[in-house]
A and B are shown apart, each in its own frame.
Chain A
Amino acid sequence: MIIRELIEKIEGEAELDFTFNEGKIEDVQINFGFYRGMEEILEGRDARDALVITPRVCGICNHAHLITAVKAIENGYENAGLKVALSPKAKAIREFTLSCELMQNHMTWFYMTILPQLEKLTGEISTQNYALKASYFSSTVTKAMSIFSGQWPHSSYAVPGGVTCDPSYVDVMQAENLIDECIRFFEEMLTGLSFEKYLSLNSLSSLGSVEGDLGKALWLIDKNEMAEAGQSHDRFIVLGDSVLAKPGKAQATKVSNVALRYVEESVQTGTTAKAVSYKQKLYEAGPLARAIVGKEPLVKSLHKRYKDSIFTRVFARVHEVATLLVQSKKLLNALQLDEPSCTLGKMLEAVDFEGEAAVEAARGSLIHKTSVKEGKIENYEIIVPTQWNLSHGNEKEEGVAVKAMVGSKTIQDATFIFRTFDICSVCTTQ
């Protein structure tokens, strides 16, 4: 028996066809009915136009697209023999703005998707206005970001060689204030613990002291007996270099090196989304992958007990906000404002180059590849995080999200598992 379910609130919608056998889900087909043709649109344009076009792939991870696009061009310039040396200031500002985007995504997902769905699953409906909480944190952190990026969404403030902004100390102080306000939210709303106390948690057993909305979510997952649900291949990939983790892949907790050239994209039938694999194997991308590859102690402690279940996955994403808050304060504190913002005045015109870059976006590794001939884009490839998690799989193994859902008894459970991957429809289909 096949039952079709529509999934919304994933920046678009997806259609899941569930095949049941003896009361359990045996297979899931994931389809997207949406296509804009972003890669086609980029062909024939000036190489730098990717800086304006690609952020508009996605209303949520637009900034990650900008940073990936600019790094791909810089990589191309280097391959063409031009030395690109960013100032530490420019690097740190890019890292900061990207961190802000990750944080706003995680909190919006947590408050607008995870909590309401969990309440529905467990019948513990509260009258809380989660949308307002999500909006408060996200507005605050995107304000901090727009001090440097000008606006969010859809900024284009990063240019080959650095950034266009030249912040003053007042700007930096303003950003620090906003990050402090986010920390206050983290303490008062999310965890009910002082930030210091939260950061000192080091084991699964110490999680019991977490209260607030995170405490509630963990309790609801447990109450619904789902703490061990949603396990997949226990295989993770991180291709971008960030404050969270160095690039690497992991089978369970065994970490090894990666290289972009082993990433393969392929067309799938019945959907406009393409599949992606690494040496023909499927990997989970996103905060859980970053925590495992980056050897984050608290997440590893959960992983030891629950493997790659939804419990670990949900926690890893929220926990990443704490790590990013710490890191963004560090980045701001270390800014040397007298360094140059941009070290490449003139852009390369009419050259040939091949450039590629991977960046850790909110939902996982994002890759851009650009082939440029006489300054014009000949071919542009965008591989987005959700493709890693939603590939259908091959003869040998099921896709990451599919495997996580197989074995669920109800569609409600399965779609909740699906949402723990923080799906983005518009990115996946472009």
Chain B
Amino acid sequence: MSMDKQDSVKSLFTAQSAKVDTNKGDAYYEALYTQCRARLDDLKKLAPLNNRMDFKESIEEEGLERRDFLKWASATTAMLMLPASFTPLVAEAAVMMNRVPVIWIELSDCAGNSEALIRSDGPKIDEIILDIISLEFHETLMSPSGHQAEKQLEEAIEHFKGKYLLFVEGAIPRGIDGYYGTIGAKAETFVDHLERLAKDAAAVVAVGSCATFGGIPAAAPNPTDAVGVMDVVKGKPIINIPACPANPSNMVGVLLHYVLTGTVPELDSLLRPKFAFGYRIHDNCERRGHFDAGEYVEEWGDVGAKNNFCLYKVGCKGPMTFNNCSIIRYNEGVNWPIGVGRGCIGCSEPDFWDKYAYERPMANANIKAPTGGVEKTVDEFGLGLLTAAGVGIAIHAAASVVAGKKSEDSKSEENA
């Protein structure tokens, strides 16, 4: 490979990919602070819904110290990309999460996101938050079942008309008039169910890759014609939190942001919150140093694997994947796939199920590449793997240009 080719490959991989603006200037944050303060004061006047626990009480019950709580609050403030001065506001917003009604429905899913949520993140704190989130309806977590549960859902829709956040887990199968997935005694199809519930929601949050982009059910040949929420729901603010499963920290983050500001967070062109999806796995990967040094795992169980070298050559899709797992990790921050020597499968990217869901490098995969076969030119470079990734990055760069435009446009509609 000639020197300048090598350089161009190198520049692709070391380029700043983060398109998220982490410092918007004092004037912006001062205005936001005032807005949040007013919002929280308004919320304070409302009674907690449904006799939810008082957060302060539950902190005491759980024997959690205030110090731990503040630690969590400052970490969450950082995750939401807000200045440290917002920490007291975030802490206050957490206490106020029982003022915003949440309805959570499961469609064509595996329940993995709910399961991830109840084994949530943070030193026991998100678990308590789970207890004070005003979950008006969640099939797995609520106590009533059967007809009683259905009744509770109908009452919640009626009572919180226009105010509730609708969290959706699972894809929406549209095949055979939607009858691949039905719910309730009247066998309402998932399509009808979602449309009906979204109509009166303040905003819809699609949780997990199935609800955002269709996910595994939409994998070729997409037997049930499954799609994501944004293909069904129109005319409502939608927030996408992809990944399989979505990271519980991001679910709580979106909710907190809404409680705090009354708006949806800044989104990219795929409607993903920029605080979580503004940069690539690769940008903040703990093995990034080995990538830069050219030290790779060549095959499973080799010396490179023992030394935690870069997983790119065994198919890591970190350079193509926008998500914050390299920072917040999974299972209360204990670990994440790359931490155990398994490359990223790009599970938060659209079409990951057909594009990335394997352990082979892009160029070795016998699939129709998302780029329409540009991979064929890799021989020219002599380093096929890198080229394929370069193309991936170029696509994202293009997407981000659109994203910048989108965030301008969406600001005006975000006041939910």
Contacts and interface: CB of A to CB of B under 8 A. Distances in A.
Given A6-B150, A150-B340, A151-B335, A138 B109 contact: no
A59 B337 contact: no
Contact of A150 (B128, B180, B336): B336
29 contacts: A8-B146, A11-B140, A12-B111, A13-B183, A33-B181, A35-B181, A36-B171, A36-B226, A37-B217, A38-B216, A40-B223, A41-B223, A48-B358, A53-B219, A56-B215, A58-B112, A59-B109, A135-B119, A139-B127, A143-B332, A146-B335, A153-B115, A159-B300, A161-B300, A161-B301, A165-B340, A340-B301, A415-B146, A426-B111
Contacts of B173: 35-36
A148 B340 CA distance: 6
A164 B131 CA distance: 36
A153 B224 contact: no
B112 A154 contact: yes
Interface string A142-157: 1101111111111111
B110 A56 contact: yes
B145 A6 contact: yes
Contact of A166 (B119, B306, B337): B306
B127 A62 contact: no
B118 interface: yes
Given A34-B180, A154-B245, A8 B335 contact: no
A255 interface: no
Contact of A165 (B108, B216, B341, B347): B341
B113 interface: yes
B146 A147 contact: no
Contact of A36 (B108, B147, B221, B357): B108
A34 B108 contact: yes
A49 B367 CA distance: 12
A8 B335 CA distance: 32
Contacts of B340: 148-150, 155, 157, 163-165
Given A135-B130, A152-B119, A35 B357 contact: no
Contacts of B226: 36
Contacts of A58: 110-112
A345 B215 CA distance: 30
A142 B183 CA distance: 30
B145 A8 contact: yes
B356 to A, nearest CB: 9
B139 A9 contact: yes
A137 to B, nearest CB: 10
A162 B300 contact: yes
A50 to B, nearest CB: 10
B224 A36 contact: yes
Given A8-B145, A53-B353, A164-B341, A345 B330 contact: no
A341 B300 contact: yes
Pairs A-B, 10 closest by C-beta atoms: A37-B223, A59-B112, A342-B301, A345-B299, A165-B340, A59-B111, A151-B330, A150-B340, A164-B341, A342-B300
B331 interface: yes
Nearest to A148: B340
B244 interface: yes
B293 to A, nearest CB: 19
B185 A157 contact: no
Contact of B139 (A13, A142, A149): A13
Nearest to A39: B223
Interface of A: 4-9, 11-13, 33-38, 40-41, 44, 46, 48-49, 51-53, 56-60, 62, 104, 108, 112, 116, 120, 129, 131-132, 134-136, 138-139, 142-143, 145-157, 159, 161-166, 340-346, 415, 426
A34 B145 contact: no
B146 A116 contact: no
Interface string B140-152: 1101011101100
A134 B182 CA distance: 29
B201 to A, nearest CB: 21
B219 A5 contact: no
B345 interface: yes
A8 B337 contact: no
Contact of A139 (B299, B308, B331, B338): B331
B366 interface: yes
Given A138-B119, A165-B341, 12 more contacts: A6-B150, A35-B223, A41-B217, A46-B360, A56-B215, A62-B112, A131-B130, A135-B127, A146-B331, A154-B245, A159-B359, A165-B340
Given A36-B223, A62-B110, A150 B338 contact: yes
A344 B299 CA distance: 9
Contacts of A52: 345, 357-359
Contact of B221 (A4, A41, A151): A41
A40 B130 CA distance: 37
A10 to B, nearest CB: 9
B180 A131 contact: no
A7 B128 CA distance: 27
B342 A164 contact: yes
A346 B299 contact: yes
